[in-house]
Structures are given as structure tokens and as C-alpha cells.
């Protein structure tokens, strides 16, 4: 059973990587040429973003070199992902429920990364992260305390925020219309994961030692049992969550960058993209237009958009 436990861990990690890669690749390949949203401010406009301006407000902008403020994009996605800025501005009631949930996820993900780096440093000889606490250096002990605090706060955030979001979906008449059983199941899975993590934290003397030992064993293919029912149960639930995220609507965690950077903030002029020009010329203009309307020079007969674009309506 111990070997199976570790094998499930490898399977979950590999599945998450493969499914995430597949989802992102599928999005990039299948998504159509986006219609400009024309929503301002766009963060990479620099100073113009402060008042909702655009590079197109300048005279003959198409003849001048365009400057993109990449730091603005980075800060924009940072504030949206880590602070849920748009939700805070436009829906305070929802933000106070969804932010603890997301913050809890970020805490657990960040804690896992910190612990993994510490374990790797230990394997390279920096210090010992697993086993007898008395053998650990001061810095590693400090990291342990930080990890334990992060896990506690993160688990509480996931449980509290998840339950609050479930209640919100059950009670809010507007959200009820868009809520499916999958939404409740998604949140319930994360709440269960948070509860099991809290139990593992509460019923073990040092959660960081257990987690560090597990990561250490994973890296070295050392299939030694972890003597904690709740830790093992929380890890099994975590394995499921890793596989679950890319195949449900929780995959927005993976695609949020593209939703904002590529769609919402995408303001690249057509003349700057040879690929977009080829897509329009070789694909989009060949789509058929079969309805009748004077404003598109339609007479009911099958035409392509190229026919419409090149025809002249004398009226």
C-alpha cells in the first residue's frame, strides 16, 4: 500500500503537468482571432493607463513606434491573480468570500514550493529537513515554523472561503441561475482537502517534518511509510485535486494569464501581426454569409466576407 501511495503521487503530478500543458496548448491552437474588447485602461499603456488612455489617441499613431510598458502588464496580472482586484472593485460581497479561498490556495502552493526548495537544499548538504528536529539548523527550524503557520492559515482560508462560497451560491438568486452541481462538487472537494489538512496539522507534532519527509521520499524514490492517517488522507485528496483542476472549470487557474493578457488586454494593431493578417485573409474572409441585409450588401445568396468587403452598396 505504501508503494501505491507514492505511485499515486507521481501519477497526480505527471497528470497535472500533462493535462495543464494539453489545456494550454489546446487553447492556443483552437481559440479564434479575438474581437477587440476596447476596455480601458490597459495596464501596458503606462501613464496613459491612469486615465484610460490608449496609444491610438495620438495623431497618426500608426506611423510612430509603439512603446509597451511590460511592467504594467506584470503588475496588472499580479494584482488580479493575487488580490482579485476586479472582484474587490465590482463585487465586495463576493470578494470577502472568494478571497480567503484563493488566498488559502496560494498559501498552500507557496508553502509547498518553499518546503520543496528547502528539502532540495538539504539533499545538497545545506541542512537536514526531516527526521530528528534537534539535528536541524536554526534557519531550517525557522522555515519549519513558517511552513506550519502557512499551512494552518491556508487550510482555514480554503475551508472558510469554500463554505462561504457554497452558501453564497445557494442563497444568491443571481448566482443560482449559473450554478451547476459541478460548482458545488468543486468547492466541496477543496473544503474536504482543507479539513483533512487541518486534521493532519492538529494531530501531528510537526506538520512540516511530515511534509518534508514525504517530499524527500518522493525525490529519492524512497517508499517509506508516513505514520499519520490524516496526513496520508490529505495527500490522497491533494492528488485528486491536482488531477481535478485541469479537467473542470477550476482550470481558470491555468488560463487566467491568457484570459487577461491575450484577450482582455490584447490591443495589438492588425498591421503588427503577420499571423493575424494571414488568418483573416486565408480563413476568416472565406466564411460564408448567407443572410440578406443591405448594410452588409447581402441579397440572400451565398457570399463570402471577402465578397461583402469588396462590394459597393450604392445606396
Q: What is the CATH number of the domain that holds 54?
A: 1.20.950.20
Find the domain containing 145 and state its range. 2-264
Find the DSSP H helices in 172-302.
173-176, 181-202, 207-220, 229-247, 252-258, 274-282
Q: Which pLDDT value is given to residue 152?
A: 97
What distance, in Å, lies between the first and last C-alpha atoms of the chain? 79
CA distance 73 to 261: 7
> What total of structural domains would you count in the chain?
2
Q: Are 135 and 128 in contact (CB under 8 A)?
A: yes
Q: Are 118 and 216 in contact (CB under 8 A)?
A: no
Query: 273 in a domain, yes or no?
Result: no
Residue 222 has pLDDT above 80, yes or no: yes
Residue 291 has pLDDT above 80, yes or no: no
Q: Are 289 and 296 in contact (CB under 8 A)?
A: yes
Residue 299 has pLDDT above 80, yes or no: no
Query: 277 in a domain, yes or no?
Result: no
CA distance 284 to 288: 9
In our burial notation (b when 16+ CB lie closer than 10 A, e otherwise), range 107-116 reads: bbeebbeebb
Q: Are 45 and 75 in contact (CB under 8 A)?
A: no
What are the pLDDT digits (tens) for 97-125? 999 999 999 999 999 999 998 888 888 87
Q: How confident is the model at residue 298 (pLDDT cuts 50, 70, 90)?
A: low
Q: Which pLDDT value is given to residue 229?
A: 96
Question: Do both 43 and 109 map to the same domain?
Answer: yes
Question: Do both 72 and 192 map to the same domain?
Answer: yes
CA distance 249 to 188: 14
Q: Which pLDDT value is given to residue 121?
A: 83
Residue 157 has pLDDT above 80, yes or no: yes
Q: Which pLDDT value is given to residue 315?
A: 59
Residue 130 has pLDDT above 70, yes or no: no
Over residues 180-192, mean pLDDT: 94
Question: Do both 200 and 305 map to the same domain?
Answer: no
pTM of the shown model = 0.85
Q: Are 154 and 200 in contact (CB under 8 A)?
A: no
Q: Which pLDDT value is given to residue 30?
A: 83
Question: Do both 181 and 298 map to the same domain?
Answer: no
Amino acid at each position: 500500500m505504501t508503494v501505491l501511495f507514492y505511485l499515486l503521487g507521481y501519477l497526480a503530478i505527471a497528470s497535472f503537468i500533462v493535462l495543464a500543458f494539453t489545456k494550454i496548448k489546446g487553447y492556443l491552437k483552437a481559440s479564434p482571432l479575438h474581437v477587440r474588447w476596447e476596455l480601458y485602461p490597459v495596464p501596458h499603456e503606462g501613464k496613459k493607463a491612469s486615465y484610460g488612455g490608449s496609444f491610438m489617441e495620438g495623431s497618426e499613431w500608426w506611423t510612430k513606434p509603439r512603446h509597451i510598458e511590460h511592467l504594467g502588464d506584470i503588475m496588472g496580472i499580479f494584482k488580479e491573480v493575487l488580490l482579485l482586484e476586479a472582484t474587490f472593485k465590482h463585487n465586495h460581497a463576493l470578494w470577502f468570500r472568494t478571497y480567503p479561498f484563493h488566498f488559502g490556495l496560494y498559501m498552500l502552493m507557496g508553502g509547498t514550493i518553499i518546503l520543496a526548495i528547502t528539502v532540495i537544499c538539504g539533499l545538497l548538504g545545506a541542512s537536514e529537513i526531516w527526521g530528528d528536529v534537534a539535528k536541524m539548523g536554526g534557519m531550517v527550524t525557522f522555515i519549519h515554523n513558517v511552513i506550519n503557520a502557512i499551512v494552518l492559515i491556508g487550510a482555514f482560508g480554503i475551508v472558510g472561503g469554500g463554505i462561504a462560497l457554497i452558501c453564497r451560491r445557494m442563497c444568491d438568486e443571481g448566482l443560482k441561475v449559473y450554478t451547476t452541481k459541478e460548482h458545488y462538487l468543486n468547492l466541496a472537494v477543496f473544503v474536504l482537502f482543507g479539513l483533512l489538512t487541518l486534521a493532519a496539522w492538529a494531530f501531528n507534532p510537526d506538520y512540516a517534518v511530515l511534509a518534508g519527509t514525504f517530499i524527500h521520499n518522493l525525490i529519492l524514490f524512497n517508499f517509506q511509510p508516513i505514520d499519520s492517517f490524516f496526513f496520508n488522507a490529505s495527500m490522497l485528496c491533494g492528488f485528486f485535486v491536482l488531477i481535478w483542476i485541469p479537467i473542470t472549470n477550476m482550470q481558470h487557474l491555468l488560463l487566467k494569464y491568457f484570459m487577461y493578457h491575450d484577450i482582455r488586454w490584447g490591443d495589438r494593431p492588425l498591421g503588427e501581426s503577420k499571423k493575424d493578417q494571414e488568418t483573416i485573409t486565408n480563413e476568416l474572409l472565406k466564411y460564408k454569409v448567407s443572410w440578406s441585409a443591405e448594410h452588409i450588401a447581402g441579397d440572400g445568396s451565398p457570399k463570402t466576407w471577402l465578397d461583402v468587403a469588396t462590394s459597393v452598396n450604392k445606396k
